[in-house]
Structure formats: structure tokens, C-alpha cells
Amino acid sequence: MGRWLEKIEKGDSDTPRKPPKSPLGALGGEVDGPFSEKNEDNHPVTSTDWLEWIAERCPLVPEDYRHVATGLLRLHPRMQQRLAERYVEEWRAAADDEPTYHKRDNAGRRAANLIITRLKRGAEHV
């Protein structure tokens, strides 16, 4: 069972029960067919939902939304979860390591976006 599902069953407050709907309809990434994943309300968990999940945990600028969305759309829905979790973990770790307070957001953003850049180039696996 995936870590996300385990967090939901344990009632971890850091993981929402259902990712919110996004106004970014064009980036939906919904999958119909044998691999579609559904949550308890029978709404598909889409790449846009994961993008909003990331945005709840890390401050994203518009360029980040586009960069992360293109990275998520390249992946199978099951792998989108792993990328989202890894993005947030990397963002938080880099921001925490930055000693200068006003540079923390950029340090986190840079480190997390490198994961997606490497993924697009084929040098990184989720």
C-alpha cells in the first residue's frame, strides 16, 4: 500500500482526505480506464489535484505551477503522488537548510524544481 494511503488511514493531518478541485481545468490530466485512481468520493485524483496539494504546502509562483504541471502530466497517476511528496520534501529540506531567512523560499523552490528538470531530461526517476 502506498505511503499516501497509509497516511490517510492513520489520519495524518498533513495529508488531505481529498485533493481540492483546481481552477486550472486545462491541466486536468484525468485518466479514464483501467488505471484511473478514485478516492472515496469517486472523483479521480488528477495531476491538477496534486498540483494544488503541493501549493498548500509550498508557496508556488506562476512559473512553478507550469513547471510542476508539465512534470506531473508526464507521469502515470500512481507516480504523480510520489513526485508530489518528493517535491514537498525537497522544498522543505532546502528551505530549512538555508540560514538566511529571506532566501529560504528561493532555495526550496530551486531544489524542488531541479527534481522536475532532471525528470524531464531523463536523468531522474521518481
d(CA 94, CA 45): 28
pLDDT of residue 33: 42
In this structure, the number of other CB atoms found within 10 A of the CB of residue 58 comes to 19
pLDDT of residue 47: 83
Q: Which residue has the higher pLDDT, 29 or 101?
A: 101
pLDDT of 77 strictly over 70: yes
Q: What integer is the mean pLDDT of 29-53?
A: 61
pLDDT of residue 12: 59
In total, the chain counts a number of residues equal to 126
pLDDT of 53 strictly over 80: yes
Greatest distance between any 2 Cα atoms in the chain: 48
pLDDT of residue 30: 46
pLDDT tier for residue 110 given thresholds of 50, 70 and 90: very high
pLDDT of 46 strictly over 70: yes
Residue 42 zone, left/alpha/beta (φ > 0; ψ -120 to 50; rest): left
d(CA 92, CA 108): 6
pLDDT of residue 126: 63
d(CA 124, CA 86): 12
